[in-house]
Structure 1
Amino acid sequence: MKNKYNEKHIINDQIKYAQIRLIDVLGNQLGIYSSEEAFFIAQQEGLDLVLISSKSEPPVCKITDYGKYRFSQEKKAREAKKKQHQASIKEVKMRYKIEEHDYKVRLNQALRFLKSGDKVKVTVVFKGREIQHVNLAINLLNKMSKDLYNFCDIQQAPLKDGKNMIMVLSPQKK
């Protein structure tokens, strides 16, 4: 019998193992059977034989309705995808001679990004001849990393990049 569904799963007579471990509809282990015997048992019940795991020895197959099995697998995949959080990089820009209040605003922005699970790229921008004050920018970035010490790990230490000084912070692993 040809697999009338998609080719992701191996079902029914496509299973070509000498011996398989068989599980019934309720999840009980029935024992070890030849794949032909298991397929015959599944046909007797009007259900499909689905290969669950080919990595174990012997491979595990389950007697189930393939349509329902496929639906439950897709549903699990959708649920897992919902729970994933794609960490993106958010940027906080400032100048090396930033005022204290403005610094606190940038600090709170970075903290909010880190708490939501995003990485933060902290950039100090230089204009014109300000590039000669690299040490002040490094001090400012180090101050920010110390202020956020409990919430982040330094992924990239302060680094000069053209007319910018960049540091990347990632959320702390729990």
Structure 2
Amino acid sequence: MNSKIHASRVRVVGDNVKVDVYPIEQALKMAKEQSLDLVEISPTADPPVCKIIDYSKFKYEQKKKQKEIKAKAQKTVVKEIRFGPNTEEHDFNFKLNHAQKFLKEGAKVKAYVHFVGRTIVFKERGEILLLKFAQALEEYGKVEQLPKLEGKRMTMFIAAKAGKK
């Protein structure tokens, strides 16, 4: 902006300005006469395009737009629930209730079975446990990813059903 623009000639646009190519000195003078700033909008154009605007107001408007975009973006929360391959019925039901609550709130649930040491030999137990978990949560959410073994973890994702908030 202003004196930081290095081009010798620039195309000037803006309110109360005749759109044309001007020497940089004249463009800066025009901006100064209006008590505004000369801001380079398109530096790669030939000649570069500059706009006569109030720079602080321009920055404020841009921040405001970014904030609006961020506010409109939907945030998805992923809640994790961890099982062992030998999880008992009571623990299973306890974690099931938590998952139901998470899904009602609209969050995704990442359920995983963590195999420690030699428990990796019980892979099928882990898969059965996760499938039973998914079946119990059928009315609250739908399975996004079926149980998949990655290293020492078997992971499954369940997303909330649209109308279940």
TM value normalised by structure 2: 0.63
State how far apart, in whole Å, the 1-side matches of 2:42 and 2:146 are.
39
**1:137 alignment counterpart:** 126
State how far apart, in whole Å, the 2-side matches of 1:29 and 1:104 are.
68
- Of 57, 70, 85, the residue aligned with 1:68 is 57
**2:145 alignment counterpart:** 154
Deviation at 1:156, TM superposition (A): 7.9
* Equivalent residues, number: 154
Deviation at 1:138, TM superposition (A): 1.3
**1:24 alignment counterpart:** 14
**1:166 alignment counterpart:** 154
Change in CA separation of 1:155 and 1:68 when aligned onto 2, cut-off 3 Å: farther
% identical aligned pairs: 27
Change in CA separation of 1:92 and 1:39 when aligned onto 2, cut-off 3 Å: same
Change in CA separation of 1:90 and 1:105 when aligned onto 2, cut-off 3 Å: same
Change in CA separation of 1:39 and 1:70 when aligned onto 2, cut-off 3 Å: same
Change in CA separation of 1:129 and 1:44 when aligned onto 2, cut-off 3 Å: closer
Gaps of 5+ in 1: 1-10
Alignment deviations for residues 85-114 of structure 1 (CA, whole Å, 9 cap, x no partner): 66665211235555498274254245357x
State how far apart, in whole Å, the 2-side matches of 1:53 and 1:72 are.
18
| Structure 1 segment 1-174 matched on structure 2, within 5 A | 11-25=1-15, 30-83=19-72, 89-96=78-85, 99=89, 102=93, 104-109=96-101, 111-112=103-104, 115-116=106-107, 120-124=109-113, 132-142=121-131, 144=133, 147=138, 151=142, 153-154=144-145, 157-161=148-152, 165-167=153-155, 169=157
Gaps of 5+ in 2: 161-165
Answer yes or no: is the 8 Å Cα contact 2:130–2:147 preserved in 1: no
